[in-house]
Amino acid sequence: MAYKIIASQCTVCGACEFECPNAAIRLKNDIYIIDPKKCTECEGAFDAPQCDAVCPVPKTCVPAG
């Protein structure tokens, strides 16, 4: 299970990048992407997915499944 970023809604603010406990979020070709192989949905690290928690745009960091 992993989260994804809805690129069409992302403002590329960068807030999520450094909140990820697994360094799963990075900028690629001027858009932020989540590496599904690194994303754990923050299990064991936080009570809620931190990318979603800090993202200023609602429903932009969402479950990929």
Residues that bind ligand SF4 (CB under 6 A): 3, 5, 10-16, 19-22, 24-25, 32, 34, 39-42, 49-51, 54-57, 60-61
Our CB check for ligand SF4 shows the closer of 14 and 29 to be 14
Least distance from ligand SF4 to the Cβ atom of residue 9, Å: 7
Least distance from ligand SF4 to the Cβ atom of residue 29, Å: 14
Gyration radius (Cα) of the chain, Å: 10
Judge contact between 59 and 6, C-beta under 8 A: yes
In Å, what is the CA distance from 24 to each residue of 29, 40, 48, 50?
A: 16, 9, 15, 11
Our CB check for ligand SF4 shows the closer of 30 and 41 to be 41
Task: Indicate the residue type of 8.
Answer: S
